Structure formats: structure tokens, C-alpha cells
Amino acid sequence: MIRSSFGAAVLASFCVLTAVGCTGGNTGAPLPEGTHLKIKGVVLETVQSRDVAERQEAVGTVKAVTSAVIAARVAGTVTQLACQEGDRVRKGQLLGMIEASETAAGAAAAQAGVEEAKRALEEFQSRKKLADATFQRYSRLYAEQAVTRQEFEIRQSEQEVAAMGVTRAEHRLTQARESARAAGIVADYSRVIAPIGGLVTAKAVDRGASVFPGMQLLTIEEESGFRLEVQAPETLLGRISVGQAVDVSIDGSSTIQNGRTAEIVPLVDPASRTFVVKVSLPGKGIRSGSYGRAFFPVGSTKGLLVPKAALIERGALTSLWVIDSRNNVRMRLVKPGRQIGDRVEVLSGLSAGERIAVGNMEQLTDGAEVE
């Protein structure tokens, strides 16, 4: 320590500047000449050359694993639509109504046909009952030789005709019921029902709109799982496998997540020379439509990796604290590269074997000595 009054004043001024720097972020200002500050407790790490995975980047869009596009199945007018984009709906929930007069009329006519077929069957059953009773009487009379054989055979024929009439009436009733059931199903298409539970992401119509079969009404996406669909370059075809671990970055975030390839579409687009790879995404808070990047490993090379916490970013400049052979601290500008896990590749400004500060760096300043 400098014991002169001048040295003490300089040291006091330095301590004030250091306190201010720690409050607003370490500035890395060098110590005044003649000042020798020793700092304890700093965590150091020796930089080593490591195998760094070479990766091929592919960009794409986040999509829900399960989605449903609800389309109109009957022609009519939308009279009710009880949901908006962003609403969460449950499976089986009534979302809207379509007024389809022709469909409703067809269902009513089909039901009337069922009633008519029922009445016809009852009539034929009554005829058969009478024919059966008559045939029984003539059977007894024929046995007693009270009627001729011709009269007996006429009554027998009437009984058979009545039985055939009942059978035909039963078939017509079955047909009418099936037609009514089909017409009822079509009429029920006027009710817009959610086929899955999830988030309404698109609404193509409003109340009062005229719709036709096949016209899109709503889109619902489940929130249980998402995938990043990327356009991978043709050179990766055959080098990517289903189930392979893939690093992904969503919506420009520097945070890297661990994904896994779920599907590979081996069809190459002749215009872009790319093919589709679908990567399953972990975690929550992901939204469909987000921009994302996937990094596919294609080999490895030697490089320098330092903890992300060791880097100091000020605007466009990135630096870190380097400890020289005399244990003095020096701030050095470096050029960062890719982030791999919790470490960042340093492309220039640092050499293997050098020591850097990686923890307890709050009190560091340029020129200080680390014990």
C-alpha cells in the first residue's frame, strides 16, 4: 500500500470511482500510475482448445403439432359465431351456427317420410292379420270339405301377398329412417363444433356472412406441442435422422433449446434445393408462427470456448478479463462466435493457455492484481 498522503488520496479517489463503476457496470478503467490494488476471490479458468461442433443452420417457422381447420359443410348464412382469435376453446364446444333453410327443410321432409312409412307398415300389418285369420277359417272349412280347393288356395295366396306387403313396408320404413338420419346429420352441420381443444388462431368469417361447403371458418391449434419446420439444405439429406438431437433458437433469442427431429420429408424442392425437417420443441411459452433456427451437427473443429458469464458486452463491443503472467488483470476485446450450451466460441482476441476471469468479477478493474 502507498502510505504517503498523496498516494492515499489517489487510492481514495480510485475506490470512489470503483464504487461508481460497480454501480453502473464495470468500466474497465485502468488504475492510476503507482496504484497497486489486490483482489481476492476471483474465479479463474485456463482457456483450452476444444472440439467444437460444426453446425449447419436452417431457418423455418414454428407450427402446432395438432391443428384443425374448420370449414362449412352446408351452404347458408352465419347467424352466430361465439369466439374470437386468441380465445381458448374446449373439444365439443359450440362455436357458431349456420342458417341453412334448404338443409333443414330436407331433414323435415325426411322425418315426414318416416312417419308415412310407419303408417303404411301399420296398414299392411292389419291386412296381413285379416288374411291370416281368413286363411285359418278356410283351412278348417277345407278340412271339413265345406269349401272347394280353389277357394282355399285363393285365401292362401291372399295371406302370402299380405306377408310380402308387410316385408316391403318394413324395408321402406328402414330406408326412410336411414334417409332421415342422414338428413339429420347434414342438418346438424349447421352447428359449428370444436373438433379439438386449443387456441383459436384464425377466424375467416363474421356474423351475416354467406358460406358454402368447403369454405374455411376457423382454425384451432392445440397448445400441447409445437414443431419447428425448417428448410434444410439438400447437402444434409441422408445426414439427418429421426430422433437426432438438434439445437434450436426461437424468435431470434440467444437462448438455445434442445430439440429433436420428429419427421423428415425427403422430397427436395427443385427451386430452393431444400427439404423439410420437423423438429420437436421442448418447454412452454412457444407460439405458432414464430421464426426459428435449427443447427444440425455436421462435424467438429478445434476452437476456444469460454463461459458466457465471462463475456462483457457494451454495445457492439465484447470483452473479457485476461490475467497475465504477473497476475495482473487486463480487459481485452474479443470477437465472439456461436453459443454452444452455456459457452460461447471466441473467434479472435484470445489464445489457448491464457487465464480469464469467470466468476466474482464485480471488483475487477484494469491493472489490478489477482491473488
Residue 128: pLDDT over 60: yes
Cα dist from 139 to 1, 134, 148, 339, whole Å = 138, 9, 11, 102
Task: Specify the pLDDT at position 29.
Answer: 57
Mean pLDDT along residues 242-267: 84
Domain ranges for the chain, please list them.
22-47+311-370, 56-65+225-299, 67-98+190-222, 101-188
Buried b / exposed e along 247-263 (16+ C-beta atoms within 10 A): bbbbeeeeebbebebbe
Q: Over the stretch 48-57, which tens digit does the pLDDT of each residue have? A: 888 887 888 8
The number of beta carbons lying within 10 Å of the beta carbon of residue 22 is 14
Q: Over the stretch 84-125, which tens digit does the pLDDT of each residue have? A: 998 999 999 999 998 887 787 888 888 898 999 999 999 999
List the one residue out of 366, 332, 364, 333 whose CA is nearest residue 39. Answer: 364
Q: Over the stretch 285-305, which tens digit does the pLDDT of each residue have? A: 788 888 999 989 887 888 889
Average pLDDT, the chain: 84
For 207, phi then psi, to 5°, come to -60, 140
User: What is the CATH number that goes with domain 22-47+311-370?
Assistant: 2.40.420.20
CB-count exposure of residue 306 (10 Å: 0-12, 13-18, 19+): buried
**How do the residues of the chain divide into helix, strand and coil, expressed in percent and rounded to 5?**
30, 40, 30
Mean pLDDT along residues 199-206: 91
CATH architecture for residues 67-98+190-222: Beta Barrel (2.40)
Angle of helix 101-143 versus helix 149-188 axis, rounded to 10: 160
Q: Which residue has the cell 406441442?
A: 225
- Fold match flag (56-65+225-299 vs 67-98+190-222): no
CATH architecture for residues 56-65+225-299: Beta Barrel (2.40)
Residue 229: pLDDT over 70: yes
